[in-house]
Amino acid sequence: MFEKIQKPSTEPKRKFKLLLLSGEFGIVKLAADEKIPEWALKSEFYSITRTAGEMTVVCDSRYIPADYSFAGDWKCLKLEGVYDLNETGVIAALSDILAKNGISIFVVSTWPTDYILLRQQNLVKALFVLQKDGHTVLRG
């Protein structure tokens, strides 16, 4: 069934460069049949995902109308570089060290790269943990 199960690697950990995007982001849960909100499209970075059960919008929280309920105070780290869709372990390498330090994340993936959102209250700790693990964090 499986060609060969791989043992954990003994190779050195990969190190990544991340860019801290400016602004604070919000995550909004909408009904699956709702129209894509025009306000979300104003954000420089936004992600809209629709499933059979709901629609999730991630965008700069400045553009979310006051009458919408949302999870706010998220900061966003962009993984710098272009990664092949078949490449494995990219998010795992970053999420593992964050999880081990009690930092939850929300990930948005695009064709060439990934974005890691984390709570503003965890930002300083996350940046420290990532840099201590050998990753580079730039500010945008």
pLDDT tens digits, 37-89:
999 999 999 999 999 999 999 999 999 999 999 999 999 999 998 888 888 88
Please choose, from the candidates 65, 56, 15, 17, the residue with its C-alpha nearest in 3D space to the C-alpha of residue 38. 65
Instruction: Please report the pLDDT score of residue 7 as a whole number.
Output: 55
Structure-token pair, residue 96 = 């593992």
On whether residue 15 sits in a domain, the answer given is no
Instruction: Please report the pLDDT score of residue 84 as a whole number.
Output: 81
On whether residue 14 sits in a domain, the answer given is no
On whether residue 12 sits in a domain, the answer given is no
Asked whether residue 92 carries a pLDDT value surpassing 80, the answer given is: yes
Instruction: Please report the pLDDT score of residue 83 as a whole number.
Output: 82
Instruction: Please report the pLDDT score of residue 87 as a whole number.
Output: 84
pLDDT bin (cut points 50, 70, 90) of residue 12 is low
Determine the structural domain holding residue 129 and report its residue range: 20-133
On whether residue 11 sits in a domain, the answer given is no
The answer to whether the pTM exceeds 0.85 is yes
On whether residue 9 sits in a domain, the answer given is no
Please choose, from the candidates 135, 104, 132, the residue with its C-alpha nearest in 3D space to the C-alpha of residue 20. 135
CATH code of the domain in which 50 resides? 3.30.2130.10
Q: Enumerate long-range contacts of 90-98, CB under 8 Å, 24 or more apart.
A: 90/14, 90/16, 90/114, 91/116, 93/13, 93/14, 93/16, 94/16, 94/18, 94/130, 94/135, 97/129, 97/130, 97/133, 98/126, 98/129, 98/130
- At 109, the amino acid letter reads S
Asked whether residue 2 carries a pLDDT value surpassing 90, the answer given is: no
Instruction: Please report the pLDDT score of residue 6 as a whole number.
Output: 54
Question: Number of folded domains in the chain?
Answer: 1
Instruction: Please report the pLDDT score of residue 27 as a whole number.
Output: 98
Average pLDDT over the chain, rounded to an integer:
92
Instruction: Please report the pLDDT score of residue 22 as a whole number.
Output: 96
